[in-house]
Structure 1
Amino acid sequence: MSSSRTGVDSERSGRIPVLLDCDPGIDDALAIAYLVAEHRAGSIDLAGLVCTAGNVGIEDTVRNALVWLDLAGAPPVPVAAGAAGATVVPHAFTPETHGPRGAGHAGLPTTTRVPDPRTGARLWVDAARAAPGDLVGIVTGPSSTLAHALELEPALPRLLRRLVVMGGSFRGHPGNTTPVSEWNVDVDPEAADRVCQSWEAARSADPAVPPVRWCGLDLTERAVWTPEHSERLLEASGTPLARHLVDALRFYFEFHESVGEGYLAQVHDPLVAWLALHPEAAVTEPVHLRVECAGEHTRGMTVEDRRGHRGRPANAELVVDLSVPGGAGAVLEEVTVSIAGLR
């Protein structure tokens, strides 16, 4: 591994540096806690958190990230505010999904942690330049900040070890925001398409650049958290972190029940975070991917070319399945155990 010029020296530590771009958000909180657990276990170096406006505004996503890090007992980690909204159209906030401040029923405590003075886009670029070829990037919210980072550093695709994105809906799977679109992409399709175009250009110039791994609803909706998961987490760990996560998840259960999914929660983000650290567990399909930004009925649709109709290099890998016994359910059990071990 390359040696970091700023922050943790990944060569000496033997850990993989990881940057999370998130919009906390309830399932983002699970992803944050899981990554902190992996950092404290010595598996990764959590290089930073970038916060992007998502279901709630940028002030809340930053605040939530800082507090969840505190509750998880994370070491000092740079947390930078990214894009405050979508790149082209007005941002659509949806507090009914994650609560008015993005933490459901959890009354999050205050924290003495403060945000990093850099922008989220600058943190993306600095983290990638500090560990060229090593950094694993994870996006669990809109791609708005990543699109800004690509403007700052067009070579970003060549600087990352891999990029794993929670977004889109593939293979004819229905959307969760419109009939064809998933929320992270739908809220800022121009940003998601910028990611697709940037990786297409990078791979056209250098086929060794890894394609983006996209985890769509067809995969992530299999990650179902139930009240029984919450009970097991509380039984294994009575920490403030566990209690606040369980309170947040109650709101998420209620939201899913209100839209006809049942009293459960589809927790997309911890599954994607786990996959970013276990790339060998992903069953993938190479495609050329673009995002529809103009269609009256199809705006936000992720359009995968699986047969080479466009004659373009594959800029994406769709994660279509997991090669682990028990699938997404087994992954959530592993995530729960990791979070329960935080003291």
Structure 2
Amino acid sequence: AGSLITWDVGDLVVGDSSTLFMVVQVGNDVVTGTVLVNDRYGVQAGQTVTRPATPPVTTTVYGRPVLLLTKEAAPSSVEPKQTLRYTLRYTNAGTEDAFQVRITDVFPADLILRGWSATPALTQLSASPLAWDVGGLPIGAGGTIWITGYVPPTIGVPSLINQAAIVGQGLEPVSVTLQTLIGGPKYAYLPLIVKGFEALPNLIVASIAVSPTTPVAGQATVISVTIRNVGNVSTRDPFWVDLYVDPSHAPQPGELWNDVSTYGKAWLVYDALAPGESLVLTTLDPDDPQNPDARYSNWPGWFVTPGDHVLYARVDTYEGPDGWIAELDEGDNGYGPVTVTVTGTAVTATEAPAPLPRERPEGDR
């Protein structure tokens, strides 16, 4: 039930006036559509009633979604050749469901993206900037996104700036910016003597891309793997790159795609990669450019079944855990998982001869 509020205005001379304001706070448990009624009011003086009571004033309560976004980095400062993991947490703290919610993340250009995951699962809208479709977000609902990056040995900036934002239908974007320092204070003493400097390449997988991003089972699909040399000298010898489609486990150093997967792709790379240079390999490229008829892959050109499929890639996979290329860091050759959602119904695919040869040529440059 409502309350009766009375104000004592005091004396009013002829022609004078006074204004009264009343501010109320709507409780969090009031649902959308509730009608608040400010009942009749009147003005009464000591001598007589100067104005009759007025009709009630009604106000309809409308809820509003409130989107919140936080971001953390672990560790808070990093060194070259380290892995950096961002954690984004989002929620709807308002009193109404949010719709058409999207999250974007401007990933630092100097940081190498290794992959991302989310709970609940999200649909990726773009890779640069990273963007996800959250869809509808009910009251109190939220989720978490994890993004993993690699700090290359040759990074030349003192810090990494990362900005993320969340926006919904009819709402202003909410953004958060995070700065991560590269190492601590560094000092140089003259004369400068360099000892133990290693002049080596360092091969990594920079990204995995799928076109179209949400394919239908049986639809022609191209998978691209971008590799990069983040070392300080060029590669001199050929090396192999493997793409793993739905492997039985996360591929380990020295494991080829056909050790852990039914479907996969292998490329023999002859080109020398200079420091900082990238190379894009696609499932349309031959396994061995110098011997196009040789077969070391089993990729029919499309996904056979609908559902979520998981992709990994590794560079310098053959032979043994360290491959053929001596590198600054032998432990950063992998990338993934990347999840691809396939729609439609299952189709038939031609299986590769069983088993495909595990032995591969070294190649001559």
State TM-score, norm by structure 2. Answer: 0.22
Task: Tell which structure's C-alpha radius of gyration is larger.
Answer: 2
Larger strand share, 1 or 2:
2
State TM-score, norm by structure 1. Answer: 0.23
Highest relative contact order (Cα 8 Å, sep 6+), 1 or 2?
Answer: 1
